[in-house]
Amino acid sequence: MKQTFTLSKQQENTLEQIYRELLISLKKTWTEENMFELVCFITKECGHQTITSKKDKTVNFFKGVEKVGGKAFSSTKGKFYAYKNNGFGNELISDTKKINDFIKATPDKVKKFSKKSKLNFEKLNNDFLKKSKKEKLNLMASGVMSILIFYASAGGEDFEGGIPDLDLELGIGYHRNIFSHSIFSGLIIEFLMRSGVEIINKSYSNLPAYHHYFWDKTNRFINNNKNLAIGSMWAGISVHLIQDAGLNHATTKPYTGVPFEMSMDAHQGLFAANGTASAIFAGRK
């Protein structure tokens, strides 16, 4: 049975207004005089944003590693001196007792962790319920957007396809190319995503002074969620590349387009390294 979708007169007028405003904005944005200037601005600004974002996330990641590594080194150093000063036998007995006590306390720790997790979930749920209808809709829309971008980038539920496997469009011989199956593809997609946002912002600024509130809401949502969208894209690429590494298997389909000979371990390590780097880029600053 066919269903006919009809619009009310008010809805038709609203769509006509949005369409007219879009045409006005596009005509102002994409003039021949502004084209070169716009392309230069987008290339410079979005390139700077992409590089700066990746640099900051990489620096913050290694700062975290350094912090954890420093603590581990201090702990190891302290334990070394404890064995030296207190005697190997005495310190070993002490450590063995601590390990046994920890094992005995593990069930209670698990119960406490479960209880704490439940309380945290309840708090999160209560915080969500306290939000206004508008805030709830925004959160749900952001969540759905993030999930869709993640799976689209990763290649669906089986992580086959997505951004890395776009190289298949060039033919099976190009599959797992070093450029498509590395952070290079993510950097290009991030640049394009940021460029899209800047084009939208420019078009938004060229709307008539009095325009439909649809444009305000849309522009606000895009700018508020652009970093989440980019992070979701990187997360999708990350899981795809880590799966392609085949770390649980002896071999995996190797890279193509590499100008020199590499061992299977090197291929797997390079997949994993690019997957790890993508995961770092997916995180917040």
pLDDT score recorded for residue 238: 93
Residue 97, both tokens: 């007792």
- The residue among 125 and 2 whose pLDDT is bigger is 125
- The residue among 106 and 262 whose pLDDT is bigger is 262
Rounded to a whole number, what is the distance in angstroms from the first to the last CA of the chain? 52
pLDDT score recorded for residue 246: 86
Considering the entire predicted model, what is its pTM?
0.77
CA pair distance 217, 228, nearest whole angstrom: 17
CA pair distance 57, 279, nearest whole angstrom: 10
Which DSSP category does 250 fall into? Answer: S
Please report, rounded to a whole number, the percentage of residues in the chain having pLDDT higher than 70. Answer: 83
Q: Which long-range contacts (CB under 8 A, 24 or more apart) does 28-35 make?
A: 28/206, 29/199, 29/202, 29/203, 29/206
Q: Nearest to residue 52, comparing CAs of 276, 275, 176, 230? A: 230
> Can you give the length of the chain in residues?
285
Do the beta carbons of residue 183 and residue 278 sit within 8 Å? yes
Over range 24-30, report the average pLDDT: 87
Do the beta carbons of residue 207 and residue 155 sit within 8 Å? no
pLDDT digits (tens, 9 = 90+) for 115-173: 776 777 677 677 777 878 888 888 899 999 999 999 999 998 888 889 999 998 888 88
Do the beta carbons of residue 180 and residue 165 sit within 8 Å? yes
Do the beta carbons of residue 281 and residue 57 sit within 8 Å? yes
